[in-house]
């Protein structure tokens, strides 16, 4: 099945090529592209940060990544290349959800990682507080600048 001359994907959303093409402008200086695919063990119950932090259930998450050197990858700036990467992601996800063990045994290198729930909680708390402080600093600076402009 096709939509806008592209195959319909079940497990991934197509990338936003406009943003990608802006980032891949040679003037920006990007040297590598990291293709990261995240697969959850239970597709019906994808984990949230709260579940990962507070749940007693161990959630298995597979992170599959590839690194592309911009100088050594032909057509890396093209929409066709990006769509090909997304089709590869779709095939990977289909294989993962059809035969997890078979896929994992076919991978040449992977690590099993566990996480400390308290550490995840502290890291999330740090990021929330960090952005909260940044928001109020920017807001304060912006309004102070407006008052100075208005008074002059």
> What is the rounded distance in angstroms from the CA atom of residue 20 to the CA atom of residue 114?
32
pLDDT for the residue 58: 67
Burial of 96 (0-12, 13-18, 19+ CB in 10 A): buried
Is 79 within 8 Å of 41 (Cβ atoms)?
Answer: no
5 against 86, higher pLDDT:
86
Condensed to tens digits (0 to 9), the pLDDT of residues 56-88 reads 666 677 788 889 999 999 899 998 999 899 999
pLDDT for the residue 136: 87
Condensed to tens digits (0 to 9), the pLDDT of residues 11-59 reads 888 888 888 999 899 999 999 999 988 887 777 777 776 776 666 666 6
Domain boundary assignment for the chain: 2-115, 116-152
pLDDT of residue 142 exceeding 60, the answer is yes
42-68 burial, b at 16+ Cβ within 10 Å, e below that, comes to eeeeebeeeebbeeeeeeeebebeeee
> What is the rounded distance in angstroms from the CA atom of residue 143 to the CA atom of residue 145?
5
Q: What is the pTM of this model?
A: 0.62
> What is the rounded distance in angstroms from the CA atom of residue 148 to the CA atom of residue 152?
6
pLDDT for the residue 103: 80
Identify the helix (H) or strand (E) that includes residue 84: helix 79-98
pLDDT of residue 3 exceeding 60, the answer is no
């Amino acid at each position: 099945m096709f939509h806008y001359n592209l195959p319909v994907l079940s497990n991934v959303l197509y990338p936003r090529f406009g943003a990608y093409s802006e980032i891949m402008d040679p003037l920006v200086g990007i040297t590598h592209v990291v293709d990261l695919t995240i697969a959850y063990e239970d597709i019906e119950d994808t984990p949230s940060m709260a579940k990962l932090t507070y749940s007693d259930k161990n959630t298995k998450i597979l992170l599959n990544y590839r690194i592309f050197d911009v100088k050594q990858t032909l057509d890396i700036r093209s929409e066709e290349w990006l769509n090909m990467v997304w089709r590869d992601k779709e095939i990977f996800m289909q294989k993962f959800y059809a035969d997890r063990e078979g896929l994992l045994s076919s991978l040449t290198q992977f690590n099993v990682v566990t996480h400390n729930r308290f550490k995840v909680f502290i890291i999330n708390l740090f990021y929330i507080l960090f952005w909260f402080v940044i928001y109020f600093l920017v807001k304060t600076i912006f309004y102070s600048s407006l008052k100075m402009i208005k008074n002059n």
